[in-house]
A = this chain, B = another copy of it.
Amino acid sequence: MSSPPSSPLARPADNLLYLTDEQLRQGTEAMFFAYRGFTADPDRILNKISYGRAHHRAIHFINVTRGATVNNLLSILGITKQSLNRVLRKLIEDGLVESVVGKEDRRERHLFLTDQGRDLEKQLSTAQHERMRKAFRQVGPEAVAGFRAVLEAMMDQDMRFLYNDLRNDGS
């Protein structure tokens, strides 16, 4: 499995984890191929209804945040407002998303899924979760914990904070 260090020099504080270029390369490729699998199932559904991943992401985070403003969503998605706006406009037009003017600050728009939006969200997450559930079951809980630990450590700090906020509540 983990090949020994190509150099015969023993490394001092790190000899539990031989991080050769080869191992890092394998990690890189694992991320690449796995991400393809990760998006494949929802992509098939989205394709049928002429939506893309951007729509999926918007729908996902509108669902979990329930009432986030456009700016909130922009921070999460890390795209420009123009990009998001194009996607949101279509989702609102199609009746999947509702945009509600803020009660306290009336400049803000709070975003919610309609019943129809929740239907699509359920379809997409069900498809995506199926593969992940299979994978998680197959490898066992310790592996899953490791998976999550590595992913969290690989995030930018801002995203790690966001990720952990979304972990508990949907503010």
Contacts and interface: CB of A to CB of B under 8 A. Distances in A.
Interface of A: 1-2, 14, 16-17, 19, 21, 24-38, 40, 57, 60, 64, 78, 125-126, 128-129, 131-156, 159-160, 162-163, 166-167
A61 to B, nearest CB: 9
A40 B31 CA distance: 14
A135 to B, nearest CB: 4
A24 B154 contact: no
A154 B126 CA distance: 15
Given A26-B166, A34-B154, A138-B153, 4 more contacts: A24-B129, A25-B129, A27-B132, A33-B156
A64 B25 contact: yes
A159 B139 CA distance: 18
B30 A152 contact: yes
A136 B14 CA distance: 11
A20 B79 CA distance: 30
A32 B132 CA distance: 13
What number of copies of this chain does the assembly contain? 2
B143 A149 contact: yes
A78 B167 CA distance: 33
A38 B38 CA distance: 15
Given A131-B154, A151-B147, A17 B57 contact: no
Given A36-B155, A145-B143, A136 B160 contact: no
